[in-house]
Amino acid sequence: MSFLSKAFGFDATKHKVRTEIVAGITTFLTMAYILAVNPSIFSALDGMPGGAVFTATALAAIIGTLVMALYAKKPFGLAPGMGLNAFFVYTVCLTMGYSWQFALTAVLIEGILFIILTITKVRTWLLDAIPGTLKKAIGAGIGLFIAFIGMQNSGIIVNSDSTLVTLGEITKGTALLAMIGLFITAGLVMLKVRGGILIGILVTTVIGLFIKDPATGMAITQFSHGASGGVQLVSLPDSVAPIFCKFDFSQVFSWDMLVVVFTFLFIDMFDTMGTIIGVHQATGTGENDKIEGMEKMFMADSVATVCGACLGTSTTTTYVESAAGVGEGGRTGLTAFSTAVCFALALLLSPLFLAIPSAATAPALIIVGVMMMPAIKRIHWEDYCKSIPAFITIIFMPLAYSISDGILIGVIAYVATHAVAGRFKEISIPMWVLAVLFVLRYIFI
């Protein structure tokens, strides 16, 4: 136990090894989709083989999560971030016309800047500058956001040309499986079954073997098959050599490089801040707006980004799906360590882990969304100067599909409402500075 305490911040009087390990596995299962999605997104670029990107994604997740486990001693998982990978591929490379080597260089520079901002405590200063009302709103907003992600990924909520979103066909395919899994997982959680969320994921995966996808006519849960025709569970990872440290410094001082780096920096910074605030509140210690160990968490995120760039993938960031593990009781670095071990196993057992459908992890995200909503009750709704920006923060996260946009617009709204009401004394100088910077960001970028 003394080893666990020193390595992971584990306290035998407060924590249980089994709970931490189950929480880590749960976190992994809810974020393992990145192992399939990241190579798919990068496949649009010539010279970035899917197998190499898969290996780079897993290695970046392992390194970042291990740093979080051993250095920050927090229950957060890290991996290449969604949204940031799309910006890398579709905006920087395919729209702006730059090479993926240029984009990797921008990610590397961003990571180095993050380390500098963390050492100088600028990131901590920014986090401390956000008022308590907005911090509570961020936690609730993230709850809605990850629940929406789960509903969207499983087909419960689908695209609509007339109303943007609408209810999917919940009596068929993946949506049906997700609904079944939701009630199973909810029942386990309500009965306070240990590992209920993880059990729900596994049971839903098994049920997926017996429910067909209408589009393909095949079972939703699919295992890959080897050359002999049998189910393949083990596969050696591809080399990252084709994309390892492939940087292009020829345009490092160009205006476009500055814009790309700043955009990466901005999105990642406030996504990470929002995740830390929201998941911190999910631990049940959110009554205190001061978060211990912020600098170490930010440093883990920064180091992970630099390592991810060297390996050949987009910005590595702290995952909001970590809330799933926290919902299972994860509180220490042992949870993150367990998640990292799962990513390491995924390098060899990728066919097994990738067989878990998004419909099986969606119920976990929805339930965790519920767990993150209590923060709302601590918002002073009768004070419109505070409740309006809080509501804007909450609603923008799922609707704009962005944690960072929710925070940015929430800060602008907070300053605007207090200024209009003449309550200038309640607006700190850092909030004025942030509001101006955020407005400029939306005008020029």
Element (H or E) spanning 318, and its range?
A: strand 316-318
Q: Which region among 180-189, 212-221, 258-267, 332-341 has the lowest average model confidence (pLDDT)? A: 258-267
Helix (H, G, I), strand (E, B) or coil at 256: helix
Least confident residue range of 189-193, 409-413, 424-428: 189-193
Q: What pLDDT is attached to residue 415? A: 97
What pLDDT is recorded for position 321? 87
Mean pLDDT confidence for 418-437: 94
Q: Is the pLDDT of residue 285 over 70?
A: no
Structure confidence at residue 103 (pLDDT): 94
Cα(366)–Cα(183) distance, integer angstroms: 11
Whole-number pLDDT of residue 156: 96
Q: Lowest-confidence range among 4-13, 143-152, 273-282, 284-293?
A: 284-293
* The predicted structure's pLDDT at residue 78: 96
Would you say residue 161 has pLDDT above 70? yes
Split at pLDDT 50, 70, 90, the class of 290 is low
How many residues in the chain? 445
Say whether pLDDT at 388 is over 80. yes
More confident residue, 338 or 196: 338
Interatomic CA distance for residues 125 and 106, integer angstroms: 24
CA distances from 108 to 72, 147, 370 (A): 22, 32, 36
Give how far Cα 397 sits from Cα of 230, 243, 383, 392, Å: 44, 33, 22, 9
C-alpha angle 425/426/429, rounded to 5°? Answer: 80
Tokens of 60: 């970046």
Of the candidates 335, 302, 331, 332, the residue with the CA atom closest to the CA atom of residue 116:
302
Q: How confident is the model at residue 142 (pLDDT cuts 50, 70, 90)?
A: confident
* Spatial separation of the C-alpha atoms in residues 234 and 114, rounded to whole Å: 37
User: Is the per-residue pLDDT at 227 higher than 70?
Assistant: no
Q: How many Cα atoms occupy the beta-carbon half-sphere of 192 within 13 Å?
A: 0
- The span from the first CA to the last CA of the chain, in angstroms, equals 50
Side chain identity, residue 340: A
For 164, the 3-state DSSP assignment is strand
Residue 284's pLDDT is what? 59
pLDDT of residue 187: 95
Give the C-alpha separation, 120 to 113, whole Å: 11
Q: How far apart are CA 439 and CA 444, in angstroms?
A: 9
Q: Is the pLDDT of residue 311 over 90?
A: yes
pTM: 0.81
Q: Count the helix, strand and coil residues of the chain and give each as a percent rounded to the nearest 5.
A: 65, 5, 30
Chain centroid to Cα 224, Å, comes to: 27
Contact between residue 416 and residue 432 where contact means Cβ atoms under 8 Å apart? no
| Angstrom distances, CA of residue 284 to CA of 183, 287, 300, 371 | 24, 8, 23, 10
| Mean pLDDT, range 46-69, rounded to an integer | 94
Confidence at residue 308, expressed as pLDDT on a 0 to 100 scale = 95
> Partners of 160 in the beta sheet?
164
Give the ranges where 122-225 is alpha helix by DSSP (H): 122-129, 132-154, 173-190, 196-207
Is a pLDDT exceeding 90 seen at residue 90?
Answer: no
- Residue in the structure block whose two tokens are 């005008």: 443
Q: Are 333 and 199 in contact (CB under 8 A)?
A: no
What is the spatial distance between Cα 180 and Cα 115, in angstroms, rounded to a whole number?
Answer: 44
* Closest listed residue to residue 321, CA positions, set 362, 353, 281, 365: 365
